[in-house]
Amino acid sequence: MHRDIIGSISNDTNSTLFLKEAKLKHGKWRENGQPDKQVLVDDTATFNAGKQTGASYGVTGQIEYSAENTAKYTLTFNNPYSGDNSASLKCEFKGETYTLNEFVRYNKTDQPMNLTVKLVSIEQFVSVTTS
């Protein structure tokens, strides 16, 4: 469980979010751990992934949601077997890309990596990333 990633994605936009992709480069989804296929307004999706048995890797992956074909949100995470943990969030809208790089970075190998992400409207996201 030490290399697990336990996460939640809250939808504070004004649109339903639809899962476009959930993939792991390393690790495996825990039972019932894959992200929800859609996240209604003011609702939260959860996910849980861990390292594969016997693997010398941690968990590395990406989850992508789109808001009714207007904005695309991509969460990338890495909880390696050794070294620092990291995560970033990217939003693409009308040909522009806005990124919150490495909003998580720590090295606690004795605990799972907990991610809590709140997705907001593109206008709010832009004001956070450009200030």
User: What is the spatial distance between Cα 114 and Cα 71, in angstroms, rounded to a whole number?
Assistant: 25
The pLDDT tens digits for 12-26 are 888 899 999 999 999
User: What is the spatial distance between Cα 35 and Cα 20, in angstroms, rounded to a whole number?
Assistant: 10
- Phi then psi for residue 110, to 5 deg, are -95, 5
34 pLDDT band, cuts 50/70/90, is very high
CATH code, 120: 2.60.270.20
Q: Domain range spanning residue 125?
A: 5-130
pLDDT of residue 23: 96
pLDDT of residue 112: 63
Query: How many folded domains does the chain comprise?
Result: 1
For the cut 90, the answer to whether the pLDDT of residue 101 exceeds it is: no
User: What is the spatial distance between Cα 58 and Cα 2, in angstroms, rounded to a whole number?
Assistant: 9
pLDDT of residue 68: 78
The pLDDT tens digits for 37-94 are 999 999 999 999 987 766 667 889 999 999 876 889 899 888 887 777 888 888 888 7
